Amino acid sequence: MSHHRISRRPRLARLARLAGVVAVALAGAPVAHAVDVDDGADQAGTPTPWLADYEGDTIDLRNGWDGARACYSDGVVSTCFDDEAAMLAALGAPSEPTGDGTTTSGWRRAACSSSVRLYSGTSYSGSVLWLSTQFSFLNLSNYGFNNITSSYRIGACGSTFYDLNNGGAPQYGGATWAGASSASMLAGWDNRVSSVFIGS
């Protein structure tokens, strides 16, 4: 019985050519970069607006407000206070800009010059969340405020409220244009808003 020795050179040559093709293909492939997202994912280097400063401690708003009754977020940095009066004293009137949106991390988000203010109670009572980030769906679960809005005040930028995360329909039909306010929600919308979009 004769044995034929199989040369490995053609096989190695094919593998070398294949490796070259793969290298060329990968050279033109897009490189993944960290992106500015607001989906609740903890990605290294991205903003974490659900982590807020409250009296020198860091709290995770997704797990509760630890006694705070008023929180502000520009989408990068969040700060909480005992009540809205303390927040007004610290941040100034909501019609005043709170900065250019840039933090020491280098992140910057477009921000309205005054915030949308969401209240957990009717007639602008209860806990309040101020949001100013523009042109992004803001999921209220990231701020511990999902499905609890009962009244609101809109700042200088028109806004849209949605029933589901990420702008999921249906859309709230009440007045949410710049400067609008409502001491209560339309019928069927109390404690229902899950996401907000702040426009221009």
Find, among 194, 199, 64, the residue nearest to 139 by Cα.
194
Angle made by CA atoms 46, 47, 48, in degrees to the nearest 5 = 120
Contact criterion met (CB below 8 Å) for 117 and 152: yes
Residue 190 vs residues 18, 50, 71, 76, 120: alpha-carbon distances, Å:
61, 23, 20, 28, 9
Separation in Å, CA 6 to CA 10, 11, 15: 10, 10, 16
CATH of domain 51-198: 2.60.20.10
**Which pTM was predicted?**
0.72
Q: Please provide residue 198's backbone torsions phi and psi, each rounded to the nearest 5 degrees.
A: -100, 120
* Pairing verdict, β 125-133 and 70-73: parallel
> Which pLDDT score is estimated for 125?
98
- Residue 132: count of CB within 10 angstroms of its CB: 26
Q: pLDDT tens digits, the chain, 200 residues: what are they? A: 444 333 444 444 443 444 443 333 333 333 333 233 344 444 556 889 999 999 999 999 999 999 999 999 998 999 999 999 999 999 886 544 444 444 434 445 789 999 999 999 999 999 999 999 999 999 999 999 999 999 999 999 999 999 999 999 999 999 999 999 999 999 999 999 999 999 98
Contact in structure between 146 and 199 (CB atoms under 8 Å) = no
User: How far, in Å, CA of 99 to CA of 102, rounded?
Assistant: 8
Which residue's structure tokens are 């989906």? Answer: 39
